[in-house]
Amino acid sequence: MVTAVLTMENRANNMTLDFSVIIPVHNEAEILRYTLRSIYNLEPREIIFILDRCTDNTEKIIKSFWKKTNLGNKVKLMLLKVNKKSHWRLHLNFLYDFGIRSAVSAIVLLSQADILHDYVTIKNKINLASHGLVSFAVLEHPHISPWNHFVTKTLRRASKFFDIQRFSGLIALNKKYYLACPLTSNDFLNFDTQIQENFRRKGYRYKYVPSNNFNLRPSLVSRGGYFKLWKVGEDRYLMKKPFLKVLALSLARLTPEVLVGYLHAKYSMVNQKMEMEKNLR
């Protein structure tokens, strides 16, 4: 199912920072044309792309970019191929776990192909992850998704005023700490939320870093269909987020699927509990 392809460059020079970047990709050739430069400019020790059942030119685009750009073996590239869907409940969680375990660095950055990285801030703050978990702010691109960009900026300002803890899916972590509480095949939460919850239970430190990373997709729908928004809602319920907060966020972002997912999870749990009580009688 999994094939490791060691890359075009086997060694990074001493000018790179000692962290690894993990990016699962599934037919991302088009978006990588715009984001590869910012990924490379992170200048980590290695960048690991997990090619998840790709049928387009994703691999070719990555290799071509590295051949033209990576002069002097500056950044090590590793391509890991996954040819079949895993048995994990959440396949994306499997991909990130596979990447983390394959990384050689003590600090690992988990990112996505559609992010235009604020590499200056990330490089300056990445070492904070040596003490636990760090998430870097991600904004929707103002020219691609102006409304969601405005909502995210407003929420960021409000969180400072009301002292609300923020979190995003662009995260860096201590690999040793991760291996003490890793993702598993039976997890219900998406990789980022699940890792945050696992680290919280262990009492590891968490830091949110304001930054200007931009997502180049127009909406959450285009990043994974309505199912992904539904799953966000389910995660909110499993994390015991207040109903009114989820309702407000769904309305603000014009994503009713999040609310539907939240309610579905809530009443599914209620029905399961009622069924269990019935069987115990």
Report pLDDT digits (tens) over 38-82.
999 999 999 999 999 999 999 999 999 999 998 778 899 999 999
174-232 pLDDT, tens digit each: 999 999 999 999 998 999 999 999 999 999 999 999 999 999 986 544 444 567 777 77
Averaged over 12-35, what is the pLDDT? 86
Shared domain for 89 and 214, answered yes or no, is yes
Domain that holds residue 43: 2-218
Same domain, 67 and 98: yes
Number of separate domains in the chain: 2
- Based on the fold, state whether residues 203 and 271 are members of the same structural domain: no
**pLDDT at site 257:** 81
Structural tokens at position 185: 């095949």
What's the whole-number average pLDDT of the chain?
85
112 falls in which pLDDT band (50, 70, 90)?
very high
Query: Between 271 and 18, where is the model more confident?
Result: 18
Return the higher-pLDDT residue of 150 and 101: 101
Write down the pTM of the prediction: 0.81
Q: Give yes or no: residues 230 and 183 share one domain.
A: no
Residue 44 in contact with residue 15, Cβ under 8 Å? no
Q: For residue 59, what is the domain's CATH number?
A: 3.90.550.10
Same domain, 228 and 241: yes
184-to-91, 179, 187, 193 alpha-carbon distances in Å: 11, 11, 6, 13
Are residues 90 and 196 both part of a single domain? yes
Among residues 218, 234, 269, the one where a domain terminates is 218
Whether residues 196 and 151 share a domain: the answer is: yes
Residues 190 and 245 grouped into a single domain: no
The closest alpha carbon to 156, from 205, 115, 109, 211, belongs to 211
CB environment 158-197: b (16+ within 10 A), e (fewer): eeeeeeeeeebbbbbbbbebbeebbbeeebebbbbbbbbb
Nearest residue to 177 via CA among 193, 160, 161, 201: 201
Residue 10 is predicted with a pLDDT of 45
Identify the weakest region by mean pLDDT among 2-6, 228-232, 238-242.
2-6
Instruction: List CB contacts of 91: < 8 A, sequence separation 6 or more.
Output: 52, 85
Cβ–Cβ under 8 Å, residues 153 and 68 = no
* Tokens of residue 214, six digits: 């931009």
The answer to whether 258 and 237 have CB atoms below 8 angstroms apart is no
Mean of pLDDT values over 111-118:
97
CA distances from 163 to 126, 155, 171, 236 (A): 23, 11, 20, 20
Give the range among 20-29, 112-121, 214-223, 261-270 with minimum mean pLDDT.
214-223
Give the model confidence (pLDDT) of 141-166 as tens digits: 777 777 776 666 676 666 666 556 68
Closest CA to 17 of 101, 71, 75: 75
- Residue where one domain finishes, among candidates 203, 218, 233: 218
49 & 179 share domain = yes
